[in-house]
Structure 1
């Protein structure tokens, strides 16, 4: 018979750490779910609580219209740009000067220029066509005069956005390449008084064998939702004051 003593006591069983963590997490989740359900039940049994009153009661419209002597006067047309350009845009074009004739301009129809007729004057006609559509072009009014070999073409390009963004973007895109000698006038031009970003340019004369010299001047500006563009062509030199005066007068009508 063995005389050895009893076996040492076995260590207590321990749950694996991962299993213990899962049990605690499950209990916590059940507690949250139960608390949430109880909260919804209590809230559903309560009577509705009205929302607090607005802190800006002055925003409400009056129950009755203002008396006639208290109604503010509408803005005069000289200050209301929507009134100035919301009607017949052709009426804002400069009148044909005395001694000049209306030139034969195929892009004009009763003082209006179609989208295609306006886009065709640009080197990349297809791009400009799509660009003007994306910019929400509304309409283009135009006038063309001639006297001798000199021609003047005016375009008022209006956008529908109700803001100045379309007209500003179009004017800036035209001004952006004017200092390029191939695409534009090849110089920085001159600012138009009171026109913000507006400028006018004189192009270098173009001489080709067998043809008369070709001179050009251009003005680009923006006022409200209208972009203004003026071009002068001649076989003789164009004075700086000629294009500047036309630009300032047309801008004044806008």
Structure 2
């Protein structure tokens, strides 16, 4: 019996095209969930900009001194040490025994006489004279600023002027020889107002004569008579002025006749010698 006709199985030829395989992921499995949650691959960063000129200059200013100091230190450290010269100062010496306080006191500079009681420096009253009871002096030997203001006209203005000029004190001595009246004053100003003392010593009329041997000292006498304020009596006056430090020496004379210039200059020199 004839075998039935059989159709050979249709065979499909194997495809030779390569299978498309997905590239293997290089991301670790532990980081995969984080990348998925973050939205995939991060965006690439922007390119870095170059430094500006100002920043470069600033960096040079900061780094330059450091480099210079480092190089200088290295050069100095590598140089051999320079020996210092021998000190020429002698060693201090001390006395063998303590100093005598009395000798030290005698060797010290003595304080100025005008720093003490000015009344002890007033010239003594000449022989043949008597006390003059000057109305404006209390008798204590001091001429207060109030008493001085009352002895002149325009007392209020004079009082203010004396205080502003730094008036400190005024030692005064008075006497009379017949009808001639003498007043000797040592007027002291505060030390920081010594310029006021200078102005007071220069307060004299034109034509005053210099006192020989006294720097800056002058004296003068009136050629015409004046009248007292509270009477019709006339008088002639004379005045001598000099200054030592902040003390002004003023000698005033009132006489019914012209003042003896030689006598005035002699009293002024005697008083000056007690100040130096």
The answer as to whether partners of 1:205 and 1:216 remain within 8 angstroms in 2 is no
* 1:46 aligned residue: none
Match of 1:206 among 206, 215, 225: 225
* 1:7 aligned residue: none
Question: What 5-or-longer segments of structure 1 have no aligned partner?
Answer: 1-14, 39-53, 180-186
Question: What 5-or-longer segments of structure 2 have no aligned partner?
Answer: 1-49, 71-86
Cα gap change, 1:75 to 1:103, in 2 (>3 Å): farther
* 2:99 aligned residue: 66
Cα gap change, 1:112 to 1:33, in 2 (>3 Å): farther
Structure 1: distance between partners of 2:213 and 2:111: 16
The answer as to whether partners of 1:108 and 1:143 remain within 8 angstroms in 2 is no
Structure 1: distance between partners of 2:91 and 2:122: 44
Q: In structure 1, the residue corresponding to 2:263 is in which secondary structure?
A: helix
Which has the higher Rg, Structure 1 or Structure 2? 2
* 2:204 aligned residue: 178
Cα gap change, 1:129 to 1:120, in 2 (>3 Å): farther
* 2:140 aligned residue: 110
Cα gap change, 1:151 to 1:68, in 2 (>3 Å): closer
* 1:251 aligned residue: 272
Cα gap change, 1:128 to 1:67, in 2 (>3 Å): closer
Cα gap change, 1:60 to 1:108, in 2 (>3 Å): farther
Q: How does 1:161-176 map to 2 (within 5 A)?
A: 161=191, 169-176=195-202
* 1:5 aligned residue: none
* 1:226 aligned residue: 247
Q: Residue by residue, what CA displacement relative to the aligned partner does 1:86-130 show, whole Å, maximum 9, x if unpaired?
A: 433211112223332232332344101223334566765122321
* 1:154 aligned residue: 184
* 1:90 aligned residue: 119
Cα gap change, 1:171 to 1:247, in 2 (>3 Å): farther
Q: Residue by residue, what CA displacement relative to the aligned partner does 1:16-73 show, whole Å, maximum 9, x if unpaired?
A: xxx62x32442245437978xx9xxxxxxxxxxxxxxx9877888758523689x467
Structure 1: distance between partners of 2:244 and 2:92: 33
TM-score normalised by structure 2 residue count: 0.57
The answer as to whether partners of 1:103 and 1:151 remain within 8 angstroms in 2 is no
